Structure 1
């Protein structure tokens, strides 16, 4: 069986390709190899994968890549909440138009399955409970609260709320252009699958980490940003007070989840969370990484400023992934940092965190 991976030369894509090749699949990759992701890193392609350089918005390139393909894993996308708030046309074009071009090119092709990478960002704030145990699916922080440093969201009567693991029943609440494009991607794929009789699955990925991330891209994952700063003996920059909580899932677990989504018929038509099922405060993550990198004395820079599009808490309930995919995380942040640290040391990361902060501040996206 031949699988096309769009964006397959990226961080997640390379691991997905390795997972599929090791499981006996034929793998073809379509990747535009954009500078923001690949400029400062040596291109690593899994042995045995066929690589086509091309943009997912180029219909001719996409149709050529789809020839004799049985399934598609669609990863090609611009990634980054902050950057999406000012490079709007770029994000909408690549993520949403790119998905539309891919799906249109698939019409009449013998592709039987497509799995798309969505994002936890579509939830906005995660799930919260009131003091009496009621679920609140729509929770948003008020700007006047944020400006005075009230970072945690409050209930309808300004009562404190308790963040809990977010399941797929939590309503979507889009807080950034990036989130909007990821939701459009997953809806396009699921609607297309139903209309054309394809098995279609959307995996909502939480914060993915592991060796191989683009360390010099300040809009990539949190851990890569922190690693780049620490490698240059600079403190990790943390917006707000550092107590916001996220779920960190290892890239190898994510790669396995994509293979399972291809193989499990029960997953068809579903959106499924892929995370570790654990919650970590961002400040704790920064200190954990500093310790692993041998620089525990470098404390994070807690900026006590908010970035537009950010949310406070979101971590995954992975019950559905366990039920439909048989998915179980094998790697956790506490015991999986050594390969990532080795990668940071070998790569020679260029720290562009200050540049990212300046770009956001110039546009009034930090308050």
Structure 2
């Protein structure tokens, strides 16, 4: 059955793919997006979206605009958020206002305009460090790292006895360890979604997204996904900047798989009420990813710059246990990573993107957020 679906933040990188996926499935889509310059640049927002989508340009904290956007809507995908661990540590009011207050405004308006289901975008950042196994084979949910400082040669978490820990795939049952304002914001969005939906007759789903990549990312936003940041550096003939020693491991999932996860979790009955990891189920080191991207972009002569410093709020290893989403609504990532990088490289090759990574590093260092 066709529905009218509101996608907040629908003009963003993930939102545009979600919108296209929903339209392709025969639904109508209304987008609410403030089109901030850091994400979108100085562009006509209507040109970002599929022409079949309806765009309302407004802030998610504007209650009157949210009420108008909800008129006649059957379900909601809530993506609107400020994104970025590092920036959240000094633009605290901006992040908390947009992410947490914005979500509160949305649900306050949903009291008078209830919908069938709300699916909210969360983040793997809420885990902090991922799950580990110690030398005795016991699982460790609250791994801690050495005090971060210049010149550190061992970045790995250890157990209480100083023994190394082995990173393993992180499942949804791992306790949150909120190590940044952004992580705290996303956890509040999750809990607000589940707390507010049921009393007003709505269903809720939250998707914890791992490292999403693909064409269309904001290349000039130095607080966006790591692959977009690396691509911007390489496009401008600069070395990708890698913090720590580059051996930290992440799970990269293609944006088309993420869009499919949102579309399927919005409708399948068995997904209701759940919080799910959305990742590829594979992990790679950050150095490996930077090297592979350089190769895909024909920039083999540009090696990554490993700076040997850490950003406050960053974690060492976190990658996705995909079991629950596969069991509950049969979600499995399909996109091959190599093919996805090639597609990203082709798109980047025809873009123009000012490189603002050094500016980002300077802003963090000036606030004491780089160890």
Same fold (TM over 0.5): yes
TM-score (norm 2): 0.97
Q: Is the 8 A contact 2:151 2:308 kept in 1?
A: no
Match of 1:299 among 271, 278, 303: 303
Cα distance in 2 for partners of 1:343, 1:22 equals 22
Aligned partner of 1:152 in structure 2 is 156
Match of 1:21 among 20, 23, 28: 23
Bigger mean CA deviation after superposition, 291-300 or 193-202:
193-202
Q: Is the 8 A contact 1:235 1:301 kept in 2?
A: yes
Q: Is the 8 A contact 1:167 1:318 kept in 2?
A: yes
Structure 1, gaps ≥5 residues long? none
Aligned partner of 2:66 in structure 1 is 62
Q: CA deviation at 1:339?
A: 1.9
Secondary structure of 2:6's aligned partner: strand
Match of 1:8 among 10, 16, 25: 10
Change (3 A) 1:194 1:149: farther
Aligned partner of 1:31 in structure 2 is 33
Q: CA deviation at 1:109?
A: 1.3
Q: CA deviation at 1:345?
A: 1.5
Q: CA deviation at 1:349?
A: 1.4
Match of 1:82 among 70, 83, 86: 86
Q: Is the 8 A contact 1:72 1:115 kept in 2?
A: yes
Q: Is the 8 A contact 1:208 1:249 kept in 2?
A: yes
Match of 1:339 among 315, 321, 343: 343
Q: CA deviation at 1:145?
A: 7.3
Q: CA deviation at 1:40?
A: 5.3
Q: CA deviation at 1:260?
A: 0.7
Cα distance in 2 for partners of 1:147, 1:263 equals 50
Q: Is the 8 A contact 1:70 1:111 kept in 2?
A: yes
Q: CA deviation at 1:142?
A: 2.9
Aligned partner of 1:311 in structure 2 is 315
Q: Is the 8 A contact 1:249 1:332 kept in 2?
A: no
Q: Is the 8 A contact 1:41 1:347 kept in 2?
A: no
Cα offsets for 1:98-128 (capped at 9, x unmatched): 0000000000214110000000000000000
Q: Is the 8 A contact 1:193 1:269 kept in 2?
A: no
TM-score (norm 1): 0.98
Q: CA deviation at 1:146?
A: 7.6
Cα offsets for 1:159-196 (capped at 9, x unmatched): 11100000001110001000000000010001111222
**How large is the Cα RMSD of the aligned pairs?**
1.2
Cα distance in 2 for partners of 1:337, 1:149 equals 30
Structure 2, gaps ≥5 residues long? none
Q: CA deviation at 1:336?
A: 1.3
Q: Is the 8 A contact 1:68 1:110 kept in 2?
A: no
Change (3 A) 1:327 1:146: farther
Cα distance in 2 for partners of 1:185, 1:202 equals 9
Aligned partner of 1:134 in structure 2 is 138
